[in-house]
Amino acid sequence: MSETGADADRIRHLLAAEGDQIKANTRLFNEERYAQIDDVGSERHERYRTRAREIKEDAIDRLPDLIERTRASVEHNGGTVYVADDAADAREYVAEVAADADAERVVKSKSMTTEEIDLNEALEASGLDVWETDLGEFVIQVAEESPSHIVGPSLHKSREEITALFEERFDPDESLDSAQALTAFAREFLGERIEAADVGITGANFVLAESGSIALVTNEGNARKCASVPDTHVAVAGIEKIIPSVEELHPFAELIARSATGQAIPQYLSLLSPPVETPAVDFDRPDEPGFGGSDAERDFHLVLIDNGRTEMREDDDLRETLYCIRCGACANSCANFQSVGGHAFGGETYTGGIATGWEAGVEGLDAAAEFNDLCTGCSRCVDACPVKIDIPWINTVVRDRINRGKDPEIEDKLVDGLVPDEEESGTPLRKRFFGNFETVAKLGSATAPVSNAVASLTAVRRALDAGLGIDVRRELPAFERETLVEWADGRTTVADPERRVVLYPDVYTNYVQPERGKAAVRTLEALGCAVTVPDVGGSGRAPLSQGMIATARSKAEHLAADLGAHLDAGRDVVVVEPSALAMFRREYEKLLPADEYERLDEGSYEVFQYVYGLLENGADPDALTAGDGSGVAYHSHCQQRTLGLEAHTVAVLEDLGYDVLTSDVECCGMAGSFGYKSEYYELSVDVGESLADQFEDTDRTVVASGTSCTDQLEALLATETRHPIQLVAP
Amino acid sequence: MSTSPIREFERSLHRVDATSSVVEPDGFDAALADAVEEPAVGAPLPFEDLSLADHPVALDPSPRELREARTGVTGSRLGIASLGTVAVESRAGGDELTALFPEYHVVVLRSSDVRPDLRSAFAWLADEFDAGRDSLVFETGPSATGDMGALVQGVHGPEAIHVLLVDDE
Ligand code: SF4
C-alpha cells in the first residue's frame, strides 16, 4: 500500500537518527519516576491520583462557571482575561498587547499552548524579536525544529549535536563542548535578552479561579524571570487548566514533577497572582536604586484558549483528554515512543500517548491520523498517568473515527463478503483484515496444514504485503487443524469437582496455540475442577485494535451473553490470553451495559490467578509438574501487568520450585497485529530487542503469557517460547 | 522513627544540593557575615528581630548591583522539611529578583517556620491566600537543567543555596 511506504521510511529514519537519544532519556525519566513513587509509597501516590482525577472531572464539568470566576478574580486583581475562540484569535490578541506596550522584544517561558497556536511565528511576523528562555526550547528554536516531547522538547538531541548547532549558529569565542559550557553560554545569551525584554510570555500549568493565580512549574527558574522582569506579562493557557483554588492544587503539586521527570517537586513551583508586588526591573537605568526605579504599572493578561476544547468537553470520548496535566509520563512509559520519539509519535504540537486526543481535538482527525496507529493499546500509560486517563480508549475512538471515510473507492460488497464485520463502509481493507482475524483463523484452521503451507509461499507473502501491508519478514501464525474446542468436545472431565470452570477459548488459544489451552485444562482438572471449553466467539480485541468499535461491541455482546449463561450456571470463567481478559476488565465497561460488564468482570480470572487461588484454598500442588530448581525466564504480557496479574504466575512458579527471572522491559513490541504491519515491523523489532537482550544468553526456559509476546520472542531469540501453564501442567 | 523536623529539613536540603547551618538568634549576625560573599544584594527580612541593616548587603539595589551581585539574601517564612523547599515571596522589596539573579542565594529562615511536608505547607498557603498574600515561589535546590546533555546547576537562577536557620524555639 502506498500510504504505508512513506511511513516505513520515516520511521526507519527516526529510529536511526533520534532513537538512541530518546530511549536513553525517556528510560531515565521512567527509572526516576519509579524510584520516586517507591519513595512516597504507591498507596499515597494512588490517593493523589484518585483525588487529582476527581478534581479534574469536577472542574471540567463546571468549566464555564470557573472561567467566569477566573475572569472576576483576575480583573479584581487588576489584570485582564481574554478568552480566545481559536488560534488566530489568540495570536491577534497577544500581538495587540505587545503593540500596546510598544514592545520590541519578547521573552518566553516554555508553553505547549503557545506552540499550539504558533504564537512565535505570528509575533515575529509583526516585527518582534522573540526568544525562548527554557534551554530545551531554546535549542529547538535555534535548530528551527519542533519539540519531540511535551516535557523535554529537545530530548532527541545529543550534547554533541547541540554543540555543533550552537557553534555554527553563534560562532562563540570558546568551544562549547560540554554541558557546562553550553549552559553558561545560553544563560548569558538569554539573560541579556530577558533584561532587555518588554513583554514576558509564559504558559500556566494551572490557573486558580478563586484567587486569579497561575501556577508555573520549572527547573531553571526562567518562568519567574519572564513573568517578573518585564512590566507586561502575558500568560497563555488552555481553558482546561483551571482548577477552583489553591486547595485543589496540592495533589497536582505532589504529582506533576514526580510523573514528569521523577522529582519529588520541581525546583521552582511558582504561584503568581498578578500583578505581583515584585518591582519590575528597568535595566535601561542601571545605576538607579530600587531596581531602576521603574514607575511603570505592571500589566497582566491571561489569555485562555478554547481552540476546540469546548467541543472536546461535550464529546464523551474525548473529554478526558482535558484532564491531562502535560507531564509526558504516557510518552515515557510507551515502548514505541521510546524508540521513535515525538517526531513520529506526535502531531502538529502534542506528542506521545495523549497526543491523539489533543491533536484530534485541537487540530482535527487528519493531524491525529498520522501517528494514531503507533498506539498498540498495551495500556501501560494508563497506570503512568497521574490523572488516570484511559489513553488507549481515546486512541481507539479516534482510530474508529479516522477509519470512516478511508478507502471509499473499495467495492464494499466484495469486502463485506470477506470480512463479516459491523463496520460502516470506508474502513480500510487492511484494518478489516486484522479486525476479522477470527474469520481468517477459522478458515485457516479448517484448511490447515494446506493453508499454512500456502501462506508461507513467497508469492502469497508478496501479495499479502502488497495488498494488506503484512510484512514478509514476519512469520505468520500457523493454524492448527484441530482447534481447542474440537479437542475438548465430548471429553469427560472431573466427575465430582471442587469447582466448575469454563475455559475461554480465545481466538489464539483456539486456533493457533491449542496446546496452551489443553495445558490449562489439564492443570485445572488436576486441581479438582471440572472444565468445559464452550464453542464461543472472539472477545472483540482484534477489531478493537483496528478501531472497529461497532464490530468489537457486537462481539462483546455475543460473548457476554454466551459466557453469562455459564456464569449463571455457577461456573467461573478462566482466560489464558491476557489481552482477552483485559477486554473483560477494561474495554467491556465501555462496550456493554453496566450489569453485564460487572458480571463478567467479577466472574472471570486469568489462568494463573485462578491456579494461585486454588492452591491457596488447599488444592494439592503435587498434582502439577514441579520445577525442581529449573530456571525460567518469564515475560508477562503488558496488559496482564497493568491489571496487576504478573505476580500470580511468578508466585505459582516459585511455589512449584522454579527459579524465575522476570523481564524488566516495558513491552515486547509486538502488541497483536502491530508487528505484522510493514511500516511498523522494524519498530516492533527495535522495541523487542530490549527484551531479547535480557533473555538472550540465558539457559533458562523462556515463557511468555501473551500470544504476541510468544511470537516476538520466538522470532527474536529463535528459541521455542511457551506459555508458563505448559510448564506446570501435568 | 521520629526525627526532629530541623534535622529532616537539613537532610533534605543536602539531598537537593543546598547547604544549611543552624544558629541561635544572638549568633545570627556573625553567621550571616560568614555566609555572605560580596558583593551582595538583599530584600528586607520579614522578621522583627533580624535585619540586614548591619551587613554589606545592598537593599533596593540598582539593576547593575542586582546583575553583578555574587550573593542574594532573602528571608523566608516557610521551609518544608521533607523536601528541602523554601518559600520566596513576592514583595515590594524584590525578594524574587534577589533570590533569582545572583549565583548564590542565602535564605534566612526561623526554625519555627519549618513545616513537615507539602500537605502542611499547603495548609499554611491556604491561610496566606486568605490573607491576600498570594504570590510566591517554592524553591527547592539550585536552578538546574538537563537540556544540554547532562545535569547542570545554575541556569536562570542560582547555582548554590545556603539556608541559615535561626533557632527560635
Ligand atoms: S495523559 Fe496523563 S500521562 Fe500523558 S501527559 Fe497527560 S497527564 Fe501526563
Would you give the DSSP letter of residue A477?
P
Full DSSP string of A387-398: T---HHHHHHHH
Report whether residue A385 contacts ligand 1, using a CB cutoff of 6 Å: yes
Of the pLDDT bands very low, low, confident and very high (cuts 50, 70, 90), residue A2 is: very low
More confident: A448 or B166: B166
- CB of A228 within 8 Å of a chain B CB? The answer is yes
Range in A396-400, A710-714, B88-92 with the lowest mean pLDDT: A710-714
Share of chain A above pLDDT 70, in %: 95
Order of strands across the sheet with A659-662? A659-662, A631-635, A701-704
Residue A379 has pLDDT above 70, yes or no: yes
Whether B33 has a pLDDT exceeding 60, the answer reads yes
| Residue A396 scores a pLDDT above 50 | yes
User: Among A219, A273, A276, A288, which would you mutate to test the B interface (most chain B Cβ atoms within 10 Å of its Cβ)?
Assistant: A219
Closest CA to A683 of A9, A1, A28: A9
Whole-number pLDDT of residue A405: 63
Average pLDDT, integer, range A479-494: 89
End-to-end CA distance of chain A: 47
The verdict on the CB of residue A255 being under 6 Å from ligand 1 is no
Q: Cβ of B97 and A133 within 8 Å?
A: no
Per-residue pLDDT, A3: 42
> Is the shortest distance between the CB of A260 and ligand 1 below 6 Å?
no
> Rounded mean pLDDT of B93-106?
96
The candidate with the shortest Cα–Cα distance to B65, out of B90, B34, B43, is B43
Given a cut of 90, is residue A727 above it in pLDDT? Answer: yes
Query: Would an 8 Å CB–CB cutoff place A687 in contact with chain B?
Result: no
Contact state of A220 with B152 under an 8 Å Cβ cutoff:
no
Q: For residue A694, what pLDDT is reported? A: 84
Nearest by CB to residue B155, choosing from A135, A277, A290, is A135
Distances (CA, A) of A582 to A317, A336, A589, A605, A709: 19, 20, 11, 10, 15
Q: Which of B66, B129, B147 sits opposite A281 (nearest CB)?
A: B66
Are residues A294 and A279 in contact, defined by beta-carbon separation less than 8 angstroms?
yes
Residue A539 pLDDT: 93
pLDDT at position A416, please? Answer: 52
pLDDT (mean) for A590-611? 96
Amino acid at A422: E
Mean pLDDT of A103-119: 94
Q: Which of B126, B152, B156 sits opposite A225 (nearest CB)?
A: B156
Q: Judge if the beta carbon of residue A354 lies within 6 A of ligand 1.
A: yes
> To 10 degrees, what angle do helices B118-130 and A246-260 make?
140
Least confident range of A166-175, A413-422, A444-453: A413-422
Q: Judge if the beta carbon of residue A112 lies within 6 A of ligand 1.
A: no
Q: Of A507, A500, A530, A533, which is closest to residue A518 (Cα–Cα)?
A: A533
Give the per-residue pLDDT at A421: 67
**What is the Å distance from ligand 1's center to A26 Cα?**
14
Contact B162/B107 with Cβ under 8 angstroms?
A: yes
Q: Grid coordinates in use for B60?
A: 533596593
The residues, any chain, with a CB within 8 Å of residue A94's CB and separated by 6 or more, are A119, A122, A123, A201, A234, A236, A301, A303
Which of the two residues, A104 and A471, has the higher pLDDT score? A104
Please give the radius of gyration of chain B, using alpha carbons only, rounded to the nearest integer. Answer: 15
Residue A375 near ligand 1, beta carbon < 6 Å: no
A20 touches chain B (CB under 8 A): no
Residue A476 three-state SS: coil
For residue A414, pLDDT over 80 is answered with no
Which residues of A are less than 8 Å from B68 in CB distance?
none
Picking from A493, A577, A486, A578, the residue whose alpha carbon sits closest to that of residue A532 is A493
- Asked whether the beta carbons of residue B63 and residue A254 sit closer than 8 angstroms, the reply is no
C-beta of residue A182 within 8 angstroms of C-beta of residue B155? no
Residue pair A340/A684 in contact by the 8 Å Cβ criterion = no
Spatial contact of B85 and B96, defined as CB atoms under 8 Å apart: no
Q: What is the DSSP string of B120-151?
A: HHHHHHHHHHHTT---EEEEESS-EE-TTSS-
**The model scores a pTM over 0.80:** yes
State yes or no: pLDDT of A614 exceeds 60. yes
Please tell me the distance from the alpha carbon of residue A170 to that of residue A266, in angstroms, as a whole number. 31
CA distances (Å), origin A277, targets A77, A194, A207, A218, A294: 11, 19, 19, 21, 13
List pLDDT tens digits, range A347-364: 999 999 999 999 999 999
The DSSP bridge partners found for residue A677 are A470
CA distances from residue A323 to A75, A239, A248 in whole angstroms, order as listed: 26, 11, 14
Smallest CA separation from ligand 1 atom 2, residue: A385
Instruction: Please report the pLDDT score of residue A409 as a whole number.
Output: 45
On chain A, the residues whose CB falls within 8 A of the CB of B116 are: none
Task: Tell me which chain A residues have a C-beta less than 8 angstroms from the C-beta of B125.
Answer: 246, 271
A182 vs A135, A177, A267, A622, CA distance in Å? Answer: 10, 7, 20, 65
Mean pLDDT throughout A340-350? 92
Joined together, the cell numbers standing for residue A405 give 471515510
Q: Is A656 in the pocket of ligand 1 (CB under 6 A)?
A: no
pLDDT tens-place string over residues A311-333: 999 999 999 999 999 999 999 99
Mean pLDDT within A189-198 = 95
Residue A616 has pLDDT above 70, yes or no: yes
Q: Are strands A232-238 and A199-202 parallel, antiparallel or unpaired?
A: parallel
Which of A12-16, A297-301, B102-106 has the largest mean confidence?
B102-106
The mean pLDDT value of chain A amounts to: 90
Cα torsion A70, A75, A79, A81: sign: positive
Neighbouring-strand partners of residue A571: none
Chain A: closest CA distance from residue B108 (Å):
18
Model confidence pLDDT, tens digit, residues B126-154: 999 999 999 999 999 999 998 888 899 99
Q: A19-40 and A2-17 are packed helices; what angle lies between their axes, rounded to 10 degrees?
A: 70
As a whole-number percent, the residues of chain A with pLDDT over 90 amount to 71
Residue A4 has pLDDT above 60, yes or no: no
Q: What is the ipTM of this complex?
A: 0.97
- Look at B138 and A265 and tell me if their CB atoms are within 8 Å: yes
Summarised one tens digit per residue, pLDDT across range A687-715 is: 888 888 888 888 899 999 998 888 888 88
pLDDT at position A122 is 95
What's the pLDDT score for residue A677?
81
For residue B3, what pLDDT band results from cuts at 50, 70 and 90? Answer: low
Say what the pLDDT of residue A403 is.
83
Q: Which residues pair with A84 in a beta bridge?
A: A305
